[in-house]
Structure 1
Amino acid sequence: MRYFGLIGKPLVHSFSQRYFTQKFQEESIDAAYGLYELDKIEDLKQLCQQKSFSGLNVTIPYKQSVLPYLSEFDETARAVGAVNVIKFVRRSGEVVLKGYNSDVIGFHDSLVPLLRPYHKRALVFGTGGASKAVEYVLSRLGIEVQLVSRQAKDSVLSYEQITPEVLQSYQLLVNATPLGTFPHVDTCVDIPYQNITNKHLLYDLVYNPQETLFLRHGKERGAQVMNGYAMLRGQAEAAWEIWNKQE
């Protein structure tokens, strides 16, 4: 049997275990997928000693802090600076942990069909590991990116700086924070939603609930909206391909 799993904290909202368990059953794959909630990333080493993994997914808050525990990276993960897939490569009697980023694939493939010619500038809310993949994809698509966080620093704006004028000049809004995730469904990024128009596209990486407060605010004002479910499926399928690709 092959062993896979997800590391992060918290994991109560996880889609991955359901997705892969169903996949293994339907395709008669001799494998198991577990949830491994780590209090700190340092616990990864002990976890890897307890079970002979073939692959792991990585979620909040460890997509960046996991990097020092990996020996190799593919080009995309290195460029993004965040990892959400670990492949356990057995080579010459040793186990090498190699990092990948399939969030890039999931986000790109789910976003591109929604883009219009006027989606030239994007506000990305959040500066964690998920936002790294978003920023990477948008930059490669030629879309200007402005990061937004709770505190302004360097080239990052604070939420207080998102004025109606700023919002009008950025037609693509991406929530890469956990705000709005079940059970905290009454939370969302603090921006002047009253200035959203039908030219705006709101993309929320959160997938549970299906319609977050962030998306609801956009929908009420005629904006195009998209939750993170398609991205999630896309990154999961890409992870499976990575784990099964011959090195």
Structure 2
Amino acid sequence: MNFAVIGHPIDHSLSPIMHNENFKINGEDSTYKAIDIPEEQFHLIKEIVRKESLDGFNVTIPHKERIIPYLDEIDEQSRHLGAVNTVKITNGKWIGHNTDGIGYVKGLKAIYPDLENAYILMIGAGGASKGIANELYPHLNNKLTIANRTLDRFKNWSIDINAISLKEAERSLSEFDIVINTTPIGMKSESELIINLSNLDPDTLVSDIIYTPLKTAFLSKAEENGNTILNGLDMFINQGAESYKIWTGKEPNIKHMKKVVLKYL
């Protein structure tokens, strides 16, 4: 069987290393590759997938919402979120799923067990943010706060949240127990920050869903402040494991998936 991850840019992705190791450990004759598809070429997605003879694929930035019109079916979570990160191809039908949220929350609960009583600020309103927010929602006693550059992005959100601007987020940082960056800022730049962290409380857990680099400028700055930090590695591993289950119906070898990624990093 053949699988892939599509996105742009895509050269940073360690998904091929992770999934191919899982296939190897499980004795499967399957392949997984990264396919770069710029936004202006995305209309060719059907042709590209047919050419690659894919049985399924992951979708990453910036295509998680763009993929939906090309799907034959989407599961309830994806429909609710308006974002898809996993596509299974069955008898020519493209079926969309979203494993981002469950992948992230599993990792977060491991480091912050008292999630129910936390006041959480998420930064960004893209596909990953939607997936995480939806998965977090039933765990929380307090309303989730989400900050974005433009509040128009929240018009199609069905989750009851506090939507604020990035400037408001900077001013109120000290009010939150957990702060999560869900934007790609920090993936390329070693110094760029999505918001100023000067008002950050030292007891706040600071998280970034980026896993490469393992420590973004956002996390480095928080660590300098004495904060506990959490990168996106566990989210990456867990969402990949959930995708594998969707494609194959089998249990992945999560231990080896994480081991090979850490070895590479």
Query: Do they superpose with TM above 0.5?
Result: yes
Q: How high is the sequence identity, in percent, across the aligned residues?
A: 29
Tell me the SS of whatever aligns to 1:177.
coil
> Following superposition of structure 1 onto structure 2, how do residues 86-165 of structure 1 map, counting pairs within 5 Å?
86-90=87-91, 95-115=92-112, 116=114, 120-142=118-140, 143-153=142-152, 156-164=163-171
User: Structure 2: which 5+ runs fail to align?
Assistant: 155-161, 251-265
**CA-to-aligned-CA distance 1:175-213 (integer Å, 9 cap, x gap):** 0000111x322212122x222223211110011111111
Aligned CA distance change for structure 1 residues 163 and 227 (closer, same or farther; 3 Å): closer
Please show how residues 1-247 of structure 1 align to structure 2 within 5 Å.
2-40=1-39, 41-90=42-91, 95-115=92-112, 116=114, 120-142=118-140, 143-153=142-152, 156-164=163-171, 166-181=172-187, 183-191=188-196, 193-245=197-249
Q: Which amino acid aligns with 2:97?
A: Y
Query: Could you tell me how far apart the structure 2 residues matched to 1:123 and 1:244 are?
Result: 35
Contact 2:115 / 2:139 at 8 angstroms: preserved in 1? Answer: no
The residue identity in structure 2 corresponding to 1:196 is L
Structure 1 residue matching 2:45: 3-state secondary structure: helix
TM-aligned CA deviation for residue 51 of structure 1: 3.0
Shift of 1:117: 6.1
1:76-118 per-position Cα deviation (integer Å, ceiling 9, x unaligned): 222222110000011xxxx110001111221111011222368
Confirm or deny: 8 A CA contact 2:206 2:227 kept in the other structure: yes
Is the CA contact 2:78–2:97 (under 8 Å) kept in the aligned structure 1?
A: yes
* 8 A contact 1:120–1:144 mirrored in 2: no
After TM superposition, give the deviation of residue 26 of structure 1 in Å: 2.8
Judging changes above 3 Å, is the alpha-carbon distance between structure 1 residues 130 and 4 closer, same or farther for their aligned structure 2 residues? same
- One-letter code of the match for 1:133? G
AA paired with 1:37? D
Q: CA–CA distance in 1 between the matches of 2:117 and 2:45?
A: 40
- For structure 1, the residue ranges without an aligned partner over 5 or more in a row are none
Q: Which of the pair has the greater relative contact order for Cα pairs under 8 Å at 6+ separation?
A: 2
Structure 1 residues 104-113 or 74-83, which shifts more? 74-83
SS in 2 for 1:99: strand
Equivalent position SS for 2:50: helix
The 3-state SS of whatever aligns with 1:207 is coil
- Contact 1:85 1:99 survives alignment (8 Å): yes
- More strand per residue: 1
Per the normalisation by structure 1, the TM-score is: 0.89
Q: TM-score, with normalisation over the residues of structure 2?
A: 0.84
